[in-house]
Amino acid sequence: MLMVDIVGINTRRLGKLNCFIKWLKDKGVISMDDILNSFKMNAYASIVRAFGIDLGYEFNCIIKETPYSIFLARDLSHAKPERCKSVPFSNEKFFSFVKGRDEDWLACAALLINLKLRDGEVNENDVSAGLRNWFGETIIKSAFSELKAAGVL
């Protein structure tokens, strides 16, 4: 049963988000400032889906070259990670993949993952000139090769 509070927040999804934020903080991947950065949090939530953890968000638009969920952005303003008593998921491969990455690299990786989800496959030569101008060849090559090595692309 879908649980929705008075302002239209899906409380089950918000509970998962609270635990996801706690999980990232506990592992030293994010700081409190990162939680306020909806673009970076959208990138993390988009990438973690490829590692088998679905927080329940649809990334149905692209903003600043980042797959973006307006519902995730809204839910971040209501998130209270301290409410998560027990983190229900674990994936060390995801942590080693995202830890220490800058926002552009995360956005590029998230976009490549979403292209694969949308098209069924993606190869480095298919990346548009616009994306190459936005991220640069180095970031695209790095994200692409590391996603391939992780078995995500």
The pLDDT mean for the chain works out to 85
Q: In 54-123, where does DSSP find H-type helix? A: 70-76, 92-98, 103-119
Closest to 94 in 3D by CA, of 135, 151, 40: 151
Residue 6 lies in a domain: no
Kindly state the tokens that stand for 121.
């496959």
How many CA atoms are closer than 13 Å to the CA of 77, on its beta-carbon side? Answer: 6
Residue 3 lies in a domain: no
Residue 83 lies in a domain: yes
pLDDT at residue 6 above 50?
no
Average pLDDT over residues 4-33: 83
* 91-136 pLDDT, tens digit each: 888 988 998 899 999 999 998 998 888 778 887 777 766 677 788 8
* 36-89 pLDDT, tens digit each: 788 899 999 999 999 999 999 998 888 877 788 989 999 998 999 999 988 887
Residue 1 lies in a domain: no
Residue 2 lies in a domain: no
Q: How many domains does the chain have?
A: 1
Range of the structural domain that residue 125 is part of: 11-148
Q: Label residue 33 by pLDDT band (50, 70, 90).
A: confident
Residue 72 lies in a domain: yes
Residue 26 lies in a domain: yes
Residue 28 lies in a domain: yes
